Amino acid sequence: MKKLSVIICMLVIISGAVKCRKANTVIPGDDANFDPRLLGGAATVFDISSASFSSPIPGLSAWNQHIHDLGDKIFSQAFVAAPAPYFGGLGPIFNNTSCTNCHHNDGIGIPTFGTSSSSLLLRISIAGKDPFGGPNPAPGFGGQLQNIALFGVQPEAQVNITYIENYFTYPDGSIASLRTPTYVLTSPYIPLPTGYMISPRMAPAVVGMGLLENVPEATILAFQSANAAAGGAVKGHANYVYNPYTHQTELGRFGLKANTSSLQVQVATAFQQDMGITSYVQPQKSVHGQSQWSVVPDTTGTDIPDSILNAVTFYVRTLAVPARRNVTDAQVMQGEKLFTQLNCTSCHQPTMYTGVNETLPTLSHQRIHPYTDLLVHDLGVALADNRPDYQANGNEWRTTPLWGMGLLEKTNGTPYYLHDGRARTLEEAILWHDGEAHNTKNAFTQLPKSDRDAVIAFLQSL
Amino acid sequence: MKKIILISVIGIFACSCKKSSSNPSTAVTETQVLTDFVQKLALPEYANLQVKATALNNAVLVLNASPTSANLAAAQQAWRDTRTAWETCEGFLFGPVEDFNYDPNTDTWPVDYHELDSLIANSPNLDVNVVQNLISSLRGYHPLEFILWGQSGNATVDSITAQQKQYMVALSQDILNNIDSLNYSWSATGGNFQKQVLLAGAGATRYTSHQDAFLAIVGAMSDICNEVGQQATGGKLYDPYSTRDSFQTESPFSHNSMADFKNNIIGAQDAYLGTYNGVQGASISNLVSANNISLDNTIKQQFTTAINALNNVNITFETAIFLQRTQLLSAMTALNTLQATLDGPLKVHIQTYVKD
């Protein structure tokens, strides 16, 4: 009898193990067994309002909810110059005064420089690499240009954007207008180094970040291997980047060139570079070592306590993904089919599973649909920033997750797309794709208008 | 036996549904409610805000030209009046006000004391062109409040320096410019945001269904209750209350915080009841009562309780955090209860009954 129960037990364990494995494998065509609205699996919320990116993942414990809410508050808090009774430490050089001013409603922002609603910044570097294989900082400017400053300190430079409109004509005669930005640096506080390179970055939405952080490295590398094995035009690869906190080289997943490996570093570096606020992960002012450093030296200790950095990181990690809408609409379903047929999905990978996270079960083992492979791909010369970032070359950008795309008008008023917000519609964003996406983009332009509209309708349902 | 019970239960339900939905006084259509929300509430409230901001700007100009105690008092009153209008509009903070950062541009907290001192000391030509390019913590109501009342709340016409006066004139003009733009963004001849609400589900890109637009309004009502009353991690009442620290209060120089909070909730209540300035429109309340009188009564009651609880604090917020803690706690509890009803049963009701 004992034996029998042992055998049964073992069988149960084995079948359990088999099931677990199965559940982690994406089976093509298996979508019918799942609710297509659940983009983030259990971490999905049903909200179509301007706050649709701002919900916590379901199932947080009371304490975790408390930490999430604390992080939420700090995310929307404006920081001020030190000394101040509260929220001091801003600057002395910075790009904006709060997280939410750039990540509007936890979404994207507006592609301008220098106002409270501006969400663009410029990275800057010179030829060569830093000791860790990253961009070589521009002497006197560091790796990011801060275009605002406190009194008594000069901004590193001002940035002017101009756009040139060009018309794109479809084979069927329809016309779209694409605008190309040019950035001119004026009034630098010291002369700019010769041969400097700049890269514009618009604040991305911070939705579903905890799920992306929890996608197993093996899954991302499998996308890379599949690209290589296919031998086609799509050659995406992982970016390996330096983590200043662990002092390790790690797989990059965040940032528009996948140049950051963890949410902790992403948040801490945004505090430091975008607002001039120091933390235990990034303890030096962004002005550190520059000639204006003496005007506002590093603070004793850090500007924000460890617990605040941790809370904001936790907040970003535990933001839920809004559910899809109109999934049974005929046009949307047609668009989804075309999205696959056009091979958009070779980079915008629709389905994968997250790994195990014992402390946050809602993020753990989830079947998710982020529409990204977290790899960097060559998108052609028109979109290129011509500035390498670790192993991402000047033509390469990380595949942008598409979940939440259709809600950007809600969260942002006017939506903008791509790394620098040049695209004003999803159609423009598609038309800018080139390089590895050349054939896919061309195939899209060959479609009749009704099919092109269906693809857009599908994207709007995400 | 079971069957009989089941049938009779269904019968009771059917009866009760019929009864409430045939109530003639609550027969309003969703389109009517959205139309009245725009025409009888949102547009008049923003228009009133513009009137008040214009009066504030004029009062500040008068004070600048003729610095008398009476003119200072008038400017202070005009500031309070503008705050009343603004905080009431915050009861439905969605649309252009959040899309175009009018909120952070006029109502950022805290005041950046250090930068403000440097600004005043180092900027010989402080005009509106300078101010509109400053970071948001140096723009809007609170820096102006800082000048009109002084950091300790005891400013006099003599204590306001020439530089501060320049800054004050630029600030009130900048506030007015923002309010002008905000008003314009809703106007039919301007940004025409009203169309997004009026044509919800009938061609509006922002709100693709009636339900979508109603959820935006209800979500905004819930958010403001949360912002003022949340206890878990600190709304505007809780942080100063829990730390007993008046550096954390919203309008510390004018001691206007309690009025700010109350007007926020009155703004949300107005949005629910569809009433503003004595004009009654078709309301969300009417829609709710058509299907669930009890929920409608609960919400009305909880609004009244919350506003009464705020009224029970009859000294300045800065003092109440020491002396009227029981009343503050009651107010937060009432706001939390109200917020939970708005965010829970009311949202579910909208999702259940607003279908087109």
CATH of the domain at B215: 1.20.1420.20
Q: Smallest Cα–Cα separation from A56: which of A37, A75, A80, A79?
A: A75
Contact B101 A116 (CB under 8 A): yes
Contacts of B118 in chain A (CB under 8 A): 81, 150-152
- Closest-CA distance, A354 to chain B, in angstroms, reads 30
The span from the CA of A38 to the CA of A459, in Å, is 15
Cβ contact B195:B188 at 8 Å: yes
Q: What type of residue is B159?
A: S
Largest CA distance in chain A: 86
Strand A44-45 and strand A321-322: the pairing is: parallel
pLDDT of A116-128, one tens digit each?
889 999 999 999 9
pLDDT at A300: 72
Report chain A residues whose CB lies below 8 A from the CB of B206. Answer: 409-410
Check residue B4 and give its pLDDT.
Answer: 43
Q: How far is A375 from chain B (nearest CA, A)?
A: 32
**Which residues of chain B have a CB within 8 Å of the CB of A86?**
110, 247-248
User: Is B193 among the domain residues?
Assistant: no
Question: Which residue has 């169309």 as its token pair?
Answer: B195
Are B135 and A148 within 8 A, CB to CB? yes
pLDDT tens for residues B178-191? 999 999 999 999 99
Nearest to A85 among B101, B212, B247 (CB): B247
| Rounded mean pLDDT, A276-296 | 90
What does the alpha-carbon distance between residue A413 and residue A114 come to, in Å, rounded to a whole number?
A: 19
Whether residues A69 and B232 touch (CB distance < 8 A) is answered with yes
CA distance B123 to chain A (A): 10
pLDDT band with cut points at 50, 70 and 90 for residue B246: confident
Q: Is residue B187 part of a domain?
A: no
Interval A345-360: pLDDT, tens: 999 999 999 999 999 9
Task: Say what the pLDDT of residue A20 is.
Answer: 46
Q: Which of A92, A277, A86, A188 is nearest to B118 (CA)?
A: A92
**Chain A residue set in contact with B, beta carbons under 8 Å:** 48-51, 65-66, 69-70, 72-73, 78, 80-88, 90, 97-98, 101, 105, 114-117, 148, 150-152, 409-410, 412-414
End-to-end CA distance of chain B: 40
Contact A101 B136 (CB under 8 A): yes
Residue B154: alpha-carbon gap to chain centroid: 27
What are the tokens at A123? 């990275």
The partner residue sitting opposite A48, judged by closest CB among B96, B98, B212, is: B212
CB A437 within 8 A of CB A131: no
What percent of chain B clears pLDDT 90, i.e. is strictly above it?
84
Residue B47: give the domain boundaries.
Answer: 24-182+200-353
Beta carbons of A409 and B101 less than 8 Å apart? no
Residues from chain A contacting residue B96 (CB–CB below 8 Å) = 413
* pLDDT band per the 50, 70, 90 thresholds, residue A362: very high
- Contact at 8 Å (CB) between A376 and A397? yes
Q: Which of A449, A426, A175, A410 is nearest to A331 (CA)?
A: A449
Q: Is A99 in contact with A89 (CB distance < 8 Å)?
A: no
CA distance B248 to chain A (A): 8
B299 in Cβ contact with B284 (< 8 Å)? no
| Residues in chain B within 8 Å Cβ distance of A82 | 114
Instruction: Read off the tokens for A399.
Output: 């595949």
| B135 neighbourhood in chain A, CB within 8 Å | 97, 116, 148
Mutation pick from B93, B102, B135 vs chain A, by most beta carbons of A within 10 Å, is B135
- Name every chain B residue with its beta carbon within 8 A of the beta carbon of A66: 232-233
Task: Dump pLDDT digits (tens) for A198-244.
Answer: 999 999 999 999 999 999 999 999 999 999 999 999 999 999 999 99
Chain centroid to CA A8: 47
Task: Name the pLDDT band for B108 (thresholds 50, 70, 90).
Answer: very high
Nearest chain B alpha carbon to A408: B206
- C-alpha to C-alpha distances, B164 to A222, B64, B256, nearest whole angstrom: 63, 10, 21
Closest Cα in chain B to A460: B205
Decide if pLDDT at B10 tops 60: no
Segment A121-146 shows an average pLDDT of: 97
Question: What is the predicted pLDDT for the residue at A457?
Answer: 98
In three-state secondary structure terms, B150 is coil
* A51 contacts on B by Cβ (under 8 Å): 219, 223
Q: Is the pLDDT assigned to residue B12 strictly greater than 50?
A: no
Of A408, A429, A84, A419, give the one whose Cα is nearest residue A258.
A419
Q: Which of A105, A150, A410 sits opposite B115 (nearest CB)?
A: A150
CB pairs under 8 A between A and B: 94
d(CA B294, CA B284): 14
pLDDT at B8 over 60: no
pLDDT reported for residue B21: 41
Chain B contact set for A69 (CB, 8 A): 230, 232-233
pTM of the shown model: 0.91
User: What pLDDT score does B355 carry?
Assistant: 83
Residue of B nearest to A62 (CA): B232
Closest CA to B96 of B170, B43, B55: B43
What three-state secondary structure class fits A123? strand
Alpha-carbon gap: A92 to the closest alpha carbon of chain B (Å): 11
DSSP A324: P
Tell me the C-alpha distance between A102 and A122, whole Å. Answer: 13
Which runs of E-coded beta strand occur in chain B?
275-276, 279-280
DSSP structural state of residue A317: H
Classify the phi-psi angles of A451: left when phi > 0, otherwise alpha if psi is within -120 to 50, otherwise beta.
alpha
SS3 A396: strand
Which of B290, B331, B310 lies closest to B21 in space, CA to CA?
B290
Number of compact structural domains in chain B: 1
Cα–chain center distance at A461? 19
Rounded distance, CA A109 to CA A327, Å? 27
Q: Which residues have a Cβ under 8 Å from the Cβ of A260 and sit 6 or more positions away? A: A241, A252, A253, A254, A266, A269
Please tell me the predicted confidence (pLDDT) of residue A32. Answer: 84
Inform me whether the pLDDT recorded for B155 exceeds 70: yes
The residue of chain A nearest to residue B131, with distances taken between CA atoms, is: A115
Shortest alpha-carbon distance between residue A67 and chain B (Å): 8
| A20: three-class secondary structure by DSSP | helix
Q: State the average pLDDT for chain A.
A: 93
> What residues form DSSP beta bridges with A378?
A396
Mutate to test the interface with B, among A48, A113, A119 (most CBs of B within 10 A): A48
Q: What percent of chain B has pLDDT over 70?
A: 92
Residue B306 domain flag = yes
In-domain check, residue B12: no
- Contact check, Cβ <8 Å, B223/A148: no
Nearest CA in chain A to B95: A413
> Of A409, A398, A141, A453, which Cα lies nearest the Cα of A291?
A141
Q: How far is CA A133 from CA A248, A249, A396, B93, in A?
A: 12, 9, 16, 46
Q: Specify the pLDDT at position B107.
A: 94
Structure tokens at A181: 């930005």
Residue B19 clears pLDDT 50, i.e. is over it: no
Locate A18 and state its tokens: 């088999």
> What's the N-to-C CA distance of chain A in angstroms?
54
Q: Region B282-300: what's the mean pLDDT?
A: 97
Q: Do A49 and B232 touch (CB under 8 A)?
A: no
Residue B291: the pLDDT is 94
Query: For residue B27, what pLDDT is reported?
Result: 84
Find the mean pLDDT for residues A259-277.
Answer: 98
Distance from CA of B232 to the nearest CA of A (A): 7
Q: Which run of H or E residues covers position A93?
A: strand A93-94
Q: Which residues contact B178 (CB under 8 A, 6 or more apart)?
A: B102, B105, B106, B140
Q: What is the pLDDT of residue B231?
A: 84
Tell if the CB–CB gap between B96 and A413 is shorter than 8 Å.
Answer: yes
Would the CB atoms of A72 and B233 count as touching at under 8 Å? yes
Mean pLDDT for chain B?
91
* Rounded distance between C-alpha atoms, residue B220 and residue A318, angstroms: 22
* Contact between B101 and A78 using a beta-carbon 8 Å cutoff: no
Instruction: Write out the two tokens for B186.
Output: 């809703």
Which positions in chain B touch A299 (Cβ < 8 Å)? none
Cα–Cα distance between B240 and B320 in angstroms, integer?
Answer: 10
Task: Calculate mean pLDDT across residues B144-162.
Answer: 94
- Residue A175 has what DSSP assignment? E
- Residue B191 maps to a domain: no
Phi then psi dihedrals of residue B207, to 5 deg: -115, 105
User: How far is the C-alpha of A145 from the C-alpha of A122, rounded, in Å?
Assistant: 6
